[in-house]
Amino acid sequence: MPPPNNNVATLGRKGSVVQKAPGAKPTKAANKKKDEEEGVDVGDGWDDWTHGKALIKPQDQLELTEAELKEEITRILTANNPHAPQNIVRYSFKERSFKSTSVVDQMAVHFVLEGSLLHQDSDEARRLRAKEGLSEETATVDTGTEPDEEKPETPATPVEDGGEVEEAGEEDRPDSAASKTDKKEPKITNQFNFSERASQTLNNPLRERSCQTEPPPRNIFSATASQWEIYDAYVEELQKQEKNKEKQKAAPSKKDSDKSKKKTMLTEAQMDDMSKMGKLSKKSTILERMVNQNTFDDVAQDFKYFEDASDEFRDKEGTLLPLWKFHYDKAKRLSVTALCWNKKYQDLFAVGMGSYDFSKQGRGMLVFYSLKKSAFPEYIYPTTSGVLCLDIHEQHSYLVVVGFYDGCVAVYNLQEEGLEPVYKSTAKTGKHTDPVWQVCWQNDDLDSNHNFYSVSSDGRVVSWTLVKNELVFTDIIRLSVNGAVSEGPEDAQQPCIASGTSFDFHKQIDYLFLVGTEEGKIHKCSKTYSSQFLETYIAHSMAVDAVKWNHFHPKVFISCSSDWTVKIWDHTINTPMFTFDLNAAVGDVAWSPYSSTVFAAVTTDGTVHVFDLDINKYEAICQQLAVGKKKTKLTHIEFNPIHPIIIVGDDRGYVTSLKLSPNLRKKPKAKKGQELPKGPEVEVAKMERLLSLLREPEQSTV
């Protein structure tokens, strides 16, 4: 540090300014005396350049005594995290109260970096070298010393002087220039700028003529593929064939070994064929759909564009236009027992195949059809027992739950290979003892596990949760003739069990659901009350085949039965609001997704009935036969969530799609001077208007 300028002005003790001459040099004694008067402690080395300057003490400096200055203060460093909470409490089941926990995680992770280096003598490194086909000598990294086997033998020549010894020693040193140039080190892949071929762009640069051994083969399959990619594929195939030939020559000539090798070669060839087929499956599916649409072009045109113009002259009545017919030859003598549309892919629907003739129970089948390809199913899953019900998950459309006649429930994953379900209930995991009549997906639980509900003839409504690799069941309610069964002592008298045949969950209230029974009653239940019913409706004189909540109005639900009737209910009233007699056993009923007053039902005489309560409250606006043979019975019906079509299934295994005419999907018109509400409020207002008209007089019976 340069010495300060001596020609400076300093403040005296009383604030006077003292001017120092440039040539004047104060003595050390004067400086020391001045420092003692001003209370400045100057160490060694400061005397030469601090003279002429004085350190000024700040006004707000803390005044400490001599004892306080000499006091030693000890600070202890701890491993505690200052940001860790100290008031964590946990519930103690033993003491039935919340207790504070003293054990708190004090570790704070600031940086984590996972390495990929392996020790060359470790087992994993040896396995990696064996996998890559490298020997230990070529895989070792040069650390400056060569193995004794690799050192060239030099002839023993007499040494005359020390200079030659020094030269020889320099040549033998591993870090000398001569050793570096003569030594042949193994080529090791650079871990930093090495680029694999899989990570490169598809547009490979052209190769030079010098490295071309033979002209590349001509691409006869795809005009857009690179010729060099095809050439490399041929080279790889040739190398595989040469390796197989070498293995055959090196192996002993035994019949057993030849058979095993042939099997391995066949399996490898089959694996290659399967990989090639996987790549072609998507393209072949698209091509098959194109051929199918060309074959049924008139049906596709009707589905997209045809609107029945004669509806204008029918006085609010409508018709159903037949479109595609779906049938699988291997599903003969099986009835359609369940239908369900995919919520994500609106052209895809699932069909459950089984039998309602309980004296002829056997195999079943789960098939998936698409409107884009009606000739053959998209997915086929054969089952050992008949399928009675199914449901597709709304968010995860690849998950399908199925209920069987033998009491099992199973979950199929369309993304997994194979024909077996990924989950299936067993006797150990609480399977039903009687046929499962309906299944329904519900919202995920608090741990984000998927769950669904099932109802069976054994009187149990069960909740199933998908946990890891098993199904965990919980009995929600047990049905009985006199009421719900509560858990009691074993010696208590067992009540008469009521058989559940159908159920449905409320669209807005998560815990509320309806259960239809074989005795003709409908019970309103709650997930939280397992010992009693919220309400019981004396609905039908025979088994309740279906019960469904309205999509728009929160109070309305519909039911159908084999006693020929369809009834519409307000769940706050014990008597039905509408009753329709269809002159045949009703197999299924469904609300439309576009109107709160439109519903459709199918009967065993093969007729489809479509009602619109906003147009006609007394009879159907469309009654049309949908089967070709007289004795064919319709079993199920479903509305498409987007398109104006319905699908119906019969007891011969056929599924028929029908398009609704314009009169069957009319939207309400606003009167003069009135504005209709927008969105779902329109449908709620329509149904509320009908209910208000019916609450004053007695129920309406048709």
Query: Which has more pLDDT, 578 or 162?
Result: 578
Q: CA 264, CA 246: separation in Å to the nearest integer?
A: 15
Query: Where do we find the tokens 């060099």?
Result: 228
| Average of per-residue pLDDT across 137-161 | 44
Higher-confidence residue: 600 or 129? 600
Q: Any idea which residue has 């098959």 for tokens?
A: 288
CB-based contacts of 686, cutoff 8 Å, min separation 6 = 595, 596, 597, 614, 668
Residues 517-576: tens digit of each pLDDT = 999 999 999 888 877 888 999 999 999 999 999 998 889 999 999 999 999 999 988 899
Q: What is the pLDDT of residues 388-423, one digit of tens each?
A: 999 999 999 999 999 999 999 999 999 888 889 999
Pairing of β 700-701 and β 578-581: parallel
Q: Which residue has the higher pLDDT, 560 or 287?
A: 560
Task: Convert the pLDDT of each residue in 451-467 to its tens digit.
Answer: 999 999 988 999 999 98
* pLDDT at res. 32: 53
Backbone angles phi, psi at 360, to 5 degrees: -130, 55
Say if residues 453 and 464 touch (Cβ distance below 8 Å). yes
Res. 366: pLDDT tops 60: yes
What pLDDT was estimated at residue 678? 57
Beta bridge mates, 9: 19
Question: At residue 357, what are phi and psi to the nearest 5 degrees?
Answer: -90, 100
- Report which of 385, 390, 403 is spatially closest to residue 339, judged by C-alpha positions: 390
Structure confidence at residue 279 (pLDDT): 54
* Integer Cα distance of 244 and 259 in angstroms: 14
Report d(CA 307, CA 664) in Å as an integer. Answer: 11
Do residues 602 and 648 lie in contact, with contact meaning Cβ atoms separated by under 8 Å?
A: yes
Q: Which residue has the tokens 């998936």?
A: 368
> How far is residue 160's CA from residue 154's CA, in Å, rounded to a whole number?
17
CB 589 within 8 A of CB 549: no
Q: 263 pLDDT exceeds 90?
A: no
Query: How does the average pLDDT of the chain come out, rounded?
Result: 76
Which tokens is 636 given? 């199920």
Question: What is 73-87 written as a DSSP string?
Answer: ---------TTS-S-
Task: Report the Cα–Cα distance between both ends of the chain, in Å, rounded.
Answer: 112
Query: Can you give the pLDDT at residue 214?
Result: 47
The model's confidence at residue 243, banded by pLDDT at 50, 70 and 90, is confident
Cα 282–288–292 angle (5° rounding)? 145
DSSP state for residue 480 in the 8-state scheme: B
For 122-126, 337-341, 479-483, which range has the lowest pLDDT when averaged over its residues? 479-483
Helices (H), ranges, 173-254: 177-182, 227-250
Helix (H) or strand (E) holding 90: strand 89-92
pLDDT at 157: 41
Q: Has residue 11 got a pLDDT over 90?
A: no
- Which is higher by pLDDT, 256 or 435? 435
Reading the block at residue 657, the tokens are: 């799609």
Q: What integer is the mean pLDDT of 341-361?
A: 89
Across the range 221-233, mean pLDDT stands at 59
Helix (H, G, I), strand (E, B) or coil at 465: strand
Statement: residue 254 has pLDDT above 80? no
Amino acid (one-letter) located at 28: K
Residue 673 to residues 510, 669, 676: CA-CA distances in angstroms?
Answer: 39, 12, 10
**Exposure of 10 by Cβ count < 10 A (0-12 exposed, 13-18 middle, 19+ buried)?**
middle
Using the predicted structure, report yes or no on whether residue 268 has a pLDDT greater than 80: no
Per-residue pLDDT of 602-635, as tens digits, reads 999 999 999 998 888 889 999 999 887 888 899 9
Closest CA to 382 of 330, 429, 424: 330
By the 10 Å C-beta count (0-12 exposed, 13-18 middle, 19+ buried), 222 is classed as: exposed
The pLDDT, as a whole number, for residue 673 is 53
* HSE-CB for 684 with a 13 A CA cutoff: 9
Angle at 234 between CA 228 and CA 235, to 5 degrees: 90
If you average pLDDT over residues 674-690, what whole number do you get? 70
Give me the pLDDT at residue 701, please.
Answer: 46
Confidence of residue 5 (pLDDT cuts 50, 70, 90): very low
Fill in the DSSP letter of residue 151: S
State residue 585's pLDDT score: 92
Considering 80-84, 467-471, 501-505, 693-697, the range whose residues carry the highest mean pLDDT is 501-505
Q: Are 413 and 401 spatial neighbours (Cβ–Cβ below 8 Å)?
A: no
According to the model, what pLDDT value does residue 292 have?
78
